[in-house]
């Protein structure tokens, strides 16, 4: 949250599974929010909507086929709130946050459609 309060621009808001993923993405220069066990509370959903609106950026929900139902539930709830965004498939990427490298992050970003403002 401290990082978000000091950011002037956020291009993507990553929605990931947990806090270790948030810390690792921050170490790579990305901004993210973590969900607990793939579920989002109403407060978290509203916070994501507020942040995407504040920074005028899309949310990127990281999709894991192993937790497909809960991930798609979060995605559906965000879409119902009017949050624009995308899903990326992280099923083939190691779950250990220390294994998330710059190269893997580039691969994730390459799954996103090209968006122009």
Domain count for the chain: 1
Write down the residue that tokens 């998330």 correspond to.
100
Asked if residue 116 belongs to a domain, the reply is no
Domain harbouring 64, CATH code: 3.40.1360.10
Residues 16-26 have pLDDT tens digits of 877 777 888 88
Give the pLDDT score at 71.
74
Residue at 117 is within a domain? no
Token pair 């291009």 in the structure block, residue: 11
C-alpha gyration radius of the chain: 13
- Is residue 23 assigned to a domain? yes
What whole-number distance in Å separates Cα of residue 44 and Cα of residue 99?
A: 26
Domain range for 38 is: 2-107
Residue at 71 is within a domain: yes
Contacts of 116 (CB under 8 A, 6+ apart): none
In a domain, 38, yes or no: yes
Residue 115 lies in a domain: no
Question: pLDDT value at position 41?
Answer: 87
Query: What is the tens place of the pLDDT at every residue in 37-96?
Result: 667 889 989 999 998 998 899 999 886 666 667 777 888 899 999 999 888 877 666 556
Q: Is 59 part of any domain? A: yes
């Amino acid at each position: 949250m401290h990082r978000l309060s000091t950011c002037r621009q956020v291009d993507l808001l990553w929605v990931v599974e947990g806090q270790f993923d948030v810390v690792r993405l921050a170490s790579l220069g990305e901004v993210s929010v973590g969900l607990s066990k793939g579920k989002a509370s109403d407060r978290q959903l509203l916070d994501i909507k507020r942040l995407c609106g504040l920074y005028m950026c899309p949310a990127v929900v990281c999709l894991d086929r192993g937790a497909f139902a809960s991930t798609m539930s979060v995605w559906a709830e965000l879409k119902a709130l009017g949050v624009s965004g995308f899903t990326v498939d992280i099923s083939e990427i190691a779950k250990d946050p220390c294994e998330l490298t710059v190269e893997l992050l580039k691969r994730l970003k390459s799954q996103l459609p090209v968006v122009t403002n």
